[in-house]
A = this chain, B = another copy of it.
Amino acid sequence: MNYEYLFNIIHDKDRVRFGKNIEEKYLSDGLKRVKGVADILVFPLTTEEVSDVMKFAYENNISVTPRGAGTGLVGATISTTCGIILDLSLMNKIVELDEDNLTITVEPGILLKNLQAYVEERELFYPPDPGEKDASIGGNISTNAGGMRAVKYGVTRDYVRGLEVVLANGDIMNLGGKVIKDSSGLDLKDLIIGSEGTLAIVTKAILKLIPKPKKSISALISFESLHKGIDAVIKIIKKNANPTAIEFVEKDVIQNAEKYLNLKFPDIKGQAFLLLTFDGDEELEIESNYNKVREVTLESGAIDFILLNKKEDIDRTWQIRGALVTAIEAVSEQEPIDIVVPINKTADFISYTKVAEKKFGIKIKSFGHAGDGNVHLCVIRDGMEEEEWNEKSHLLLKALYNKGKELQGLPSGEHGIGLNKKPYFLEVTDRVNIEYMRKIKKVFDEKGILNPNKLYE
């Protein structure tokens, strides 16, 4: 293939890199394990460049793998075939802040942390808050990222008002807009959200903002066992106390992260913890909310309830929460899972992981978003030999995904399917659903050039 033509599209030589000039990090993702292949890496600066690259790829049947910040955990951005990696990180501008309509229009490469800082300086708020702040908004949209604040505020999908996308053949399509309501034909916008770059390239997004809550505090609640903690969650939710986040974690996972970061978790007795935040404008409202939670958790057997008021305590505690996965990874290779089950099945699912640990002889650490049933598991390799690990972990994962299904759950709450979860996704998803996903893929990308071999393919 003569890729030289790309210089007619992208005039800046620095933004077109060939073969061995492609740094390794561009061939992998947030797990940094699997290494993909690619002929060329391009960094477009404009929608027109993206469109022209896609036209070239379309005409020449070249595969194109869109890439945001490469922090994904499921291999979705790993290029599996020779072809183009289309890295959107340089398209990272804020196009417009509209304070009347409370929207911000951004290019896809902007990092979440930069977007959050920009709006919060202006007393505005972009609620979706996945753990990795160095992810791009384009990546967040393409995986429908969730995060800590989903309990109160919802996920990325809920904040995407409009999209500009480039299709496989290079055509540009606009979806939604600044309007709040939309019953104007088929909902193509939501089809693109969460499609992990398999249907189109997101080149612009209009995001919904809200006024920034004036106050935010956290509460830490401890229990004798994880099971007791999880049992309390459903009671908290029924109390209508409007928490922003409800995370759960066991003591040994915390200790590991404390060591890794060399930071101290608040001093509290117990084997398992719930970490909550409450936000709002009125002190009284927040107080009434956390008091409801204090009452109901102490009634249902919590050992202790402490309020984190000081910014420094709050930041440190959440920093530890944020580092759980990385701290585990520092000790051992692990396979991250984010199965989601109905909230009242969370405890059952976690109980099953304890059974599965024994049955398959592999350690599992569980923690995550208790408030929305999105359990995060780390399946830990712990030095196991390659062959044994591959075989055993596959059986364990299969069992876990099937358990999730049995409990009326789904394989991914926020990370997506990508490459790594594809076999399990195909196993637990009805044939007819996969069939229609594939047919829709054909509508958008009949040549199969956009992020091939992922998800449902």
Interface residues of A (CB under 8 A from B): 98-103, 143-146, 150, 155, 157-158, 167, 171-175, 177-188, 190-191, 193-195, 199, 211, 234, 237-238, 240, 281-282, 284-285, 288, 338, 340-344, 369, 372-374, 408-417, 425, 429-430, 432-434, 436-437, 439-444, 455-456
In the bound complex, do residue B173 and residue A433 qualify as a contact, i.e. CB atoms below 8 Å apart? yes
In the bound complex, do residue B288 and residue A183 qualify as a contact, i.e. CB atoms below 8 Å apart? no
Q: Could you list some 20 contacts between A and B, CB below 8 A?
A: A100-B344, A145-B183, A157-B187, A173-B432, A173-B436, A177-B409, A179-B341, A179-B408, A181-B373, A182-B410, A183-B413, A184-B410, A184-B411, A184-B429, A185-B417, A186-B194, A186-B199, A188-B440, A436-B443, A439-B443
**Given contacts A171-B432, A180-B150, A410-B179, A186 and B440 within 8 Å (CB-CB):** yes
Interface hub of A99, A182, A199, A444 (most chain B Cβ within 10 A): A182
- Nearest 6 pairs of A and B residues by beta carbon: A190-B190, A100-B344, A181-B413, A178-B342, A211-B240, A180-B372
**Given contacts A174-B430, A186-B437, A190-B187, A181 and B146 within 8 Å (CB-CB):** yes
- A343's partner among B180, B186, B413 (CB-CB below 8 A) is B180
Chain B residues near A415: list those with CB within 8 A: 183
In the bound complex, do residue B437 and residue A180 qualify as a contact, i.e. CB atoms below 8 Å apart? no
In the bound complex, do residue A425 and residue B184 qualify as a contact, i.e. CB atoms below 8 Å apart? yes
Chain B residues near A180: list those with CB within 8 A: 150, 340, 343, 372-374, 413
Name the residue on B nearest A371 (C-beta): B180
In the bound complex, do residue B181 and residue A374 qualify as a contact, i.e. CB atoms below 8 Å apart? yes
- In the complex, how many angstroms separate the beta carbon of A97 from the nearest chain B beta carbon? 13
Given contacts A179-B413, A183-B415, 7 further A-B contacts (CB under 8 A): A167-B432, A171-B432, A181-B340, A183-B414, A188-B433, A439-B443, A440-B443
Name the residue on B nearest A123 (C-beta): B240
In the bound complex, do residue B183 and residue A416 qualify as a contact, i.e. CB atoms below 8 Å apart? yes
Chain B residues near A410: list those with CB within 8 A: 177, 179, 182, 184
**Given contacts A100-B343, A432-B171, A433-B175, A155 and B184 within 8 Å (CB-CB):** no
Name the residue on B nearest A161 (C-beta): B342
In the bound complex, do residue A234 and residue B184 qualify as a contact, i.e. CB atoms below 8 Å apart? no
In the bound complex, do residue A186 and residue B182 qualify as a contact, i.e. CB atoms below 8 Å apart? no
Distance in angstroms between the alpha carbons of A102 and B188 in the assembled complex = 28
Interface hub of A183, A436, A456 (most chain B Cβ within 10 A): A183
Chain B residues near A238: list those with CB within 8 A: 99-100, 211
- In the complex, how many angstroms separate the beta carbon of A331 from the nearest chain B beta carbon? 27
- In the complex, how many angstroms separate the beta carbon of A250 from the nearest chain B beta carbon? 22
